[in-house]
Structure 1
Amino acid sequence: MNTKTFKVVKTDAEWREQLTPEQYQITRNHGTERAFSSPNFDSKLKGVYKCVCCDRPLYKSEAKYESGTGWPSFTNPIEPDAVIAVEDRSYGMLRTEIKCSDCDAHLGHVFPDGPAPTGLRYCMNGNALVFDQA
């Protein structure tokens, strides 16, 4: 299933009009929400998590797990090309940033300390995601 169709490009003013101030800070300025503060960090409902900026399906609820970090965590994206991994050297650390492949929204980071089957923890900002219940 490949849902990618085109790159979403908007002006800064268009993003600010579409998003709440917190969503804008996270997705367009590489911000991070406080742990345990996003609306769906502990949700166990069935459905799909989409990009808040462009509605791209990113993660299935079946890939979500409780990491204890306070952020929604997933073992893998809904499809390999849903997200882009980018080296992040901010704050004196070396991490891998995860961005939406359709609109370049900052979503969070991926770490190599997750459970099977991937061993990865896609640690996402919940305010960068919108939940679509099945």
Structure 2
Amino acid sequence: MPSHDARTIRGAAIPTAVAGVVATAIAAAVAGSKGAIGAAFAAALVMVFFASGQIALDRLTRNNPQLMMAVALLVYTTQILLVGIVLAVFKDTSLFNTKVFAFTLLGCVFIWSGGQVRTHLKAKQFYVQNDDKPDEQVKPGRQQ
């Protein structure tokens, strides 16, 4: 994985983990142990789904960067569908507080997305990659 992708995941995962810990503590105080379980599960779910999506995006576009937008939309749609499936499966569960789970999930998704945007804005990446080798460059006064 290129270092800028690892930086992107780190830049989104750290604030999301902190938000997950804070949400779990608040949920434990307000809704008890079931609230804490719901908040912890939601934070872990966001981190696993969105980190795996970033890794999949990196691997799928490594050799063909022209497909970046199409693959990114496919990966994001798949992530949202998987989150929807998890929500449908645990809709009537008594394992954890579903309202705490839903609010923590929503908050962590926003924090993850904000962390990605912030990391991309702060990264100093080249927009154009020069594939020429130094010995193949055209010297002044010579034409190819």
Query: Structure 1 length normalisation: TM-score?
Result: 0.22
Q: Which has the higher contact order (CA 8 A, sep 6+)?
A: 2
User: Quick check: which has more Rg, 1 or 2?
Assistant: 2
